Chain A
Amino acid sequence: MSLEQLNAIKFEEIIYDNLESCLVIFSRKDCHVCKEVVPLLEELQPNYLGKFGFYYVDVEEDKNLYQRFSLKGVPQILFFKEGEYQAKLVGAVDEDKVIDKIDEVLES
């Protein structure tokens, strides 16, 4: 299942209006490390339906979003809960790291 892509408006809505617990991967099309991490999130997503959201931001299409979080590279996975930024994972992460981080965010 592919990840839902967010633009700036959708981003506001989901993170700050709906206060969803979720992760957002900042990625770009021609980045090979992103191409390794995105499928891994796609595989994990179904295990968290209704519990934890999985979203995607393309940094080329939505520059203002990565600038807002002053990101310096892709891929980066940002975690949110109750409208607040919680943590991030950078670079070539594996499944276990993502699962641990989700648990951490859900339990906090």
Chain B
Amino acid sequence: MGDLKYDLIIIGGGPAGLTAAIYGGRAKLRTLVINKGTVGGLVNTTREIVNYPGYAQISGPDLMKDFKKHADSFGVEFSRDEVVSVNFSQEDKIICTKKRKEYMAKAVIIACGSEPRLLNIPGEKRLQGSGVAYCATCDAEFFEGEDVVVVGSGDQAIEEGMYITKFARKVTVIVLHDEGVLDCNKVSAERAFQNEKMEFVWNSTLEEVLGESNVEGVKIKNLKTGRSSELACQGVFFFVGMIPSTHFLKESGIGMDSRGYIPANDLMKTDLEGVYAVGDNRVKYLRQVVSAAGDGATAAVAAERYIEELNAFNTSVLKNDKQVLLLFFNALNNESLEFSTLIEEANQELSEPYKVVKIDTATKKNLAQKYDVKIVPSVVVLDRGQEIKRLDYSMDKEKLKAQLR
């Protein structure tokens, strides 16, 4: 299974994943992007992008083609497949896919973005494709001259709603908030209020989609009065927000917030060593293409350093002809600094039978974990990677020397 071993595997091929791939490929890491569906992710659903630097105006799919081409030029490999489970508990991370492949990677970047949230109300699922829709670009045209309901009031709901008015006779937007309050940006809100085909139902939510084989109407619930009413229509578009596509990671032990977003630090590191989270699937302030790309770059560089350290450790420690003293210390702890000087001296006075490798437990938690080191200072003696003993702590040089002979 040697051909399924990679330095870096990126799960998800949206802007975050593709940027990470560009940096990974350029750093000469053997890099694989596993992406279900079309490369480019959510951006493929966007007709027009006007806020990606350097492109005054471009369609989402065109921008993503450029990203993909760029990644291809650095030799990145792609697989159209879906990751269904992972095992991140070992140094070699294991990734299993729907096409029943098992991949291994030294570092993993999670860039699987998010997907539309379902309201899970009666009729929503049953009438999908028969009037219930989630993509205006795909389906607006099917509602030529008909009445359409849009649920939600964020940027996407209002902008897609206005696009639908090009085809539909009337678009009724169901809004949770008080009259005049929309979640979208001000420019879109003003345009929407001026659009003669747009109507609004305030303080309300959808309770049910009605219809036998096609949508015939909706049941709307007013949240202020608690009363329900019916509205006839032929189509319902849902834009009620996104949820992160991180469900396949539930068993992996990776930290997530209650909604499924993964917290990551400013290096995009998650709470698991060698695992990074980038783009829309992490806890963050701004979810856009440019910030997704920024995340991807950071994570790939962090992953590259991590892999470099891993490789360096493997050659200097695990494959060394000499026996190795793995000295775990903490730079903030004076006692462990003094002890480390003493160890070096003792080793020198014995004309260096050992190679001393110092490990700061504050930054190398994974190694402390791997060797089950709970207190500093600690010394593990290795012979070709195998632990042969541990030294007893002592500030008496002669006692140390005795243990080293």
Show the binding face of A for B, using Cβ within 8 Å.
28, 30-36, 39, 66, 70-74, 76, 88, 90-92, 94-95
Interface string of B44-77 (1 = CB under 8 A from A): 1100000000000000010000000000000000
Answer whether A34 and B138 are a contact pair too, CB < 8 Å, given A39-B80, A72-B235, A91-B128: yes
**Do B38 and A72 touch (CB < 8 A)?**
no
**Do A73 and B142 touch (CB < 8 A)?**
yes
- Name B's interface SS: mixed
**Do B38 and A35 touch (CB < 8 A)?**
yes
**Do A72 and B131 touch (CB < 8 A)?**
yes
Show the binding face of B for A, using Cβ within 8 Å.
36-38, 44-45, 61, 80, 98, 128-131, 133, 135, 137-139, 142-143, 214-215, 234-235
Answer whether A90 and B135 are a contact pair too, CB < 8 Å, given A36-B36, A72-B142, A72-B215: no
Answer whether A73 and B44 are a contact pair too, CB < 8 Å, given A36-B38, A90-B128: no
Q: Measured between alpha carbons, how far is A104 from B323 in the docked complex, in Å?
A: 65
A38 closest partner in B (C-beta): B38
The answer, among A28, A32, A71, for a CB contact under 8 Å with B38, is A32
Q: Measured between alpha carbons, how far is A94 from B129 in the docked complex, in Å?
A: 16
Q: Measured between alpha carbons, how far is A99 from B133 in the docked complex, in Å?
A: 24
Q: Measured between alpha carbons, how far is A31 from B130 in the docked complex, in Å?
A: 17
Q: Measured between alpha carbons, how far is A46 from B214 in the docked complex, in Å?
A: 34
- Name A's interface SS: mixed
Answer whether A70 and B128 are a contact pair too, CB < 8 Å, given A31-B137, A32-B44, A35-B44: no
**Do B38 and A30 touch (CB < 8 A)?**
no
**Do B133 and A73 touch (CB < 8 A)?**
yes
A36 closest partner in B (C-beta): B37
B235 closest partner in A (C-beta): A72
Q: List 18 A-B contacts (CB under 8 A).
A: A30-B61, A31-B135, A32-B37, A32-B38, A32-B44, A33-B135, A34-B138, A36-B37, A72-B129, A72-B131, A72-B139, A72-B234, A73-B130, A73-B131, A73-B142, A90-B128, A92-B37, A94-B98
Answer whether A71 and B135 are a contact pair too, CB < 8 Å, given A32-B45, A36-B36, A36-B37: no
CB distance from A45 to the nearest CB of B (A): 16
B60 closest partner in A (C-beta): A32
Within 8 Å CB of A74, what residues of B?
138-139
Within 8 Å CB of B234, what residues of A?
72
Within 8 Å CB of B37, what residues of A?
32, 35-36, 92
Within 8 Å CB of B235, what residues of A?
72
Within 8 Å CB of B137, what residues of A?
30-32
**Do A31 and B138 touch (CB < 8 A)?**
yes
Q: Measured between alpha carbons, how far is A90 from B139 in the docked complex, in Å?
A: 12
Q: Measured between alpha carbons, how far is A51 from B37 in the docked complex, in Å?
A: 27
